[in-house]
Amino acid sequence: MATVHGYVGDFLMISDATNTSDITAEVTGTANAILTSFFTTLSDVDITTFTVTASDEGSDVTQREGTDYLVRGTGEIVFGTAPIDGAKIKATYTAFKGGTYITAGGFTSWSLSLEADVPENTVFNSTGWRTFAANGLKGWTCTAERHWVNDVYSANLAKRVLVRMYTDRTNSDYYYGWGVLSGAGPTTEVSALVDESITFQGTHLMGSITQ
């Protein structure tokens, strides 16, 4: 398990999922048998309704999410293998417009954990060494601490949220992904500030963004 810690954090949560733009068959680029990444014009995309096609001999072939490609919340489409030369990569998606997010500041710390299950597949002829499968399930979790209690969190438990975790003072480098707000718990003691701990469970690919 890899763990990343930082000293600047910003968490953006959707407050109005009705303020969206629907994009149909947008050409994100032309494949050249080398490129594996393509980008939509708009960012902050809804991953659950995102579809991708690649043109092949005049027809659009639907690509399989999780098998042919992965998509980040930023709108980056990442192929495992470069599409065939000359193919038009098209995306149909919904993007959330600006002003639809709650910026929940005031955090004092955050921690991001990237995880992968590695099932053991040792058999009798493994020559005394344990062996493990390389195709285990992957995921990530994020926890953060803040002063004071924000009712936004209790109202959004179990809902999908967009999470940004900044790692620099200029707010240009950050981790970015969609997750579910899975926990929020305030604590307090005598002569101390009220603190709140929140937890996010990742649901899709986490990206590292440098601007």
DSSP string, 43-90: -SB-GGG-EEEEEETTEEEEPPBTTTEEE-TTSEEEESSPPPTTPEEE
Report how far Cα 180 is from the mean position of its chain's Cα atoms. Answer: 11
pLDDT value at 5 more than 70:
no
Q: How far, CA to CA in Å, does 205 sit from each of 102, 124, 185?
A: 22, 36, 26
Return the residue matching tokens 């179990």. 158
Handedness of CA 15, 19, 20, 21 (dihedral sign): negative
Region 25-54: mean pLDDT is 93
Q: Which residue has the higher pLDDT, 37 or 160?
A: 37
pLDDT value at 125 more than 60:
yes
Report the phi/psi class of residue 111: left, alpha or beta, with left for phi > 0 and alpha for psi in -120 to 50: beta
Q: Which residue has the higher pLDDT, 174 or 22?
A: 22
Model's pTM, two decimal places?
0.67
Q: How far, CA to CA in Å, does 171 sit from each of 4, 76, 105, 205, 209?
A: 16, 20, 13, 21, 10
Whole-number pLDDT of residue 112? 86
Instruction: Identify the CA nearest to 15 among candidates 126, 97, 73.
Output: 97
d(CA 142, CA 123): 36
Read off the pLDDT of residues 60-89 as tens digits, 9 standing for 90 and up.
Answer: 999 999 899 988 888 899 999 999 999 999
Arithmetic mean of pLDDT over the chain: 80
Q: What percent of the chain stands above pLDDT 70?
A: 78
pLDDT value at 155 more than 50:
yes
Whole-number pLDDT of residue 1? 41
Whole-number pLDDT of residue 58? 78
Among the residue ranges 32-41, 108-117, 168-177, the one predicted with the least confidence is 168-177
Enumerate domains of the chain plus CATH numbers.
2-15+99-210 (2.40.30), 20-96 (no CATH)
Specify whether the CB–CB gap between 193 and 155 falls below 8 A: no
Over the range 46-56, which residues count as b (16 or more CB within 10 Å of their CB) and which as e? bbeebebbbbe
Q: How far, CA to CA in Å, does 47 sit from each of 20, 25, 122, 160, 198?
A: 13, 15, 36, 11, 23
pLDDT band at 167 (very low <50, low <70, confident <90, very high): confident
pLDDT value at 16 more than 70:
no
For 178, the token pair is 């969609």
Q: Which residue has the higher pLDDT, 145 or 172?
A: 145
